[in-house]
């Protein structure tokens, strides 16, 4: 039985509770937000912000929600979480992703190469964690970042996502995309070589490397993994901004195309929007705009059937 723990914000836990509504257990356990059981997997959310997944497919279920730490191999997460001295001032490739937790819109991964000489200019632009910026600020910064530093962006639209998702769980898909973005960016900047590659950590290093073995163009050397990577190097912060800008643009375009406002995230507004799409064109149309394996699909079908 595998055993996976996530550390999540309260807003994400609230979102999870809604997503697992039909699987909630009627238990009152101290210091827990909720306990659910889905397909043999027990999900326990604690008031501390930790969420525990227990069961044979715990890793797969946890991967739907992001930054997992596999407690079966605690040593694997300790590797390289302490960065070399003056890492923030080195010439680094940083990568990040956006869209993994949103029902609508694509999954976007971006890698940015920020040389030491470019760091002051990035800082002057106001580059920082995209979560600390408004959407208009992100849209304004993205083209300036693209003009300043080399980058590689990969976008998986929902239709393609749904095609490969049965074979690629959320973690494996992100590993494939991060690796490919980094590989292509390295080719762009050759013969220059980064002093390190910082990946905004979404799974343990051991897990990342396990899935990496399935990839064709494996980037295996000089990798560092740390959560909130944007706080440790501007390359990751710049990558997060480019990802968010591309995601917002894609979501806006999709909303215009289908004639229905498509919200970010995976809450009740997503359920309602999906129900409207189902009534308009059925599951085939919904598959063009949404990640169908999310619990939102079942909820939307119930709303549409009313």
Q: Domain with 110 in it: what CATH number?
A: 3.30.420.10
Percent of the chain at pLDDT above 90? 65
Give the domain range for residue 288: 255-304
Q: Based on C-alpha coordinates, what's the Rg of the chain?
A: 20
Whether residue 128 is found in the same domain as residue 211: yes
CA dist., res. 118 & res. 134, Å (int): 23
Q: Mean pLDDT, to the nearest integer, of 70-74?
A: 36
Whether residue 62 is found in the same domain as residue 94: no
Q: Indicate the angle between helix axes 234-258 and 135-148, nearest 10 degrees.
A: 120
Q: How confident is the model at residue 62, as a pLDDT?
A: 82
- Would residue 231 count as lying in a domain? yes
Antiparallel, parallel or unpaired: β 2-7 and 107-114:
unpaired
CA dist., res. 89 & res. 224, Å (int): 15
CA dist., res. 238 & res. 253, Å (int): 23
Q: Mean pLDDT, to the nearest integer, of 152-157?
A: 98
Q: Is the pTM of the predicted complex or chain greater than 0.85?
A: no
Helix (H) or strand (E) holding 296: helix 296-304
Tokens read off for 209:
């490397």
User: What does pLDDT average to over the chain?
Assistant: 89
- Would residue 77 count as lying in a domain? no
- Would residue 95 count as lying in a domain? yes
Whether residue 197 is found in the same domain as residue 228: yes
CA dist., res. 258 & res. 6, Å (int): 35
Q: How confident is the model at residue 6, as a pLDDT?
A: 87
Whether residue 99 is found in the same domain as residue 229: yes
HEC-encoded secondary structure of 135-161: HHHHHHHHHHHHHHCCEEEEEECHHHH
């Amino acid at each position: 039985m595998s055993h996976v723990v996530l550390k999540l914000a309260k807003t994400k836990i609230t979102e999870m509770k809604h997503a697992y509504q039909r699987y909630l257990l009627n238990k009152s356990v101290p210091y827990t937000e909720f306990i659910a059981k889905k397909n043999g997997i027990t999900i326990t959310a604690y008031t501390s912000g930790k969420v525990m997944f227990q069961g044979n497919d715990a890793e797969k279920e946890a991967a739907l929600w992001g930054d997992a730490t596999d407690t079966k191999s605690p040593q694997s997460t300790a590797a390289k979480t302490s960065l070399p001295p003056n890492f923030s001032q080195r010439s680094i490739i940083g990568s990040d992703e956006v869209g993994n937790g949103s029902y609508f819109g694509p999954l976007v991964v971006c890698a940015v190469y920020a040389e030491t000489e470019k760091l002051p200019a990035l800082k002057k632009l106001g580059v920082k964690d995209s979560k600390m910026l408004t959407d208009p600020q992100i849209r304004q910064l993205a083209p300036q970042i693209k003009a300043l530093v080399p980058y590689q962006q990969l976008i998986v639209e929902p239709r393609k996502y749904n095609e490969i998702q049965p074979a690629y769980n959320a973690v494996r898909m992100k590993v494939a995309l991060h690796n490919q973005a980094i590989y292509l960016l390295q080719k762009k900047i050759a013969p220059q070589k980064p002093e390190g590659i910082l990946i905004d950590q979404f799974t343990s290093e051991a897990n990342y490397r396990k899935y990496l073995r399935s990839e064709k163009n494996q980037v295996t050397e000089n990798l560092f993994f740390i959560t909130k990577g944007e706080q440790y190097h501007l390359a990751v912060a710049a990558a997060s901004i480019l990802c968010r800008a591309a995601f917002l643009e894609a979501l806006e375009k999709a909303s215009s195309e289908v004639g229905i406002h498509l919200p970010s995230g995976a809450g009740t507004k997503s359920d309602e929007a999906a129900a409207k799409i189902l009534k308009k064109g059925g599951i085939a149309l919904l598959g063009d705009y949404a990640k169908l394996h999310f619990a939102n699909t079942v909820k939307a079908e119930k709303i549409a059937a009313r």
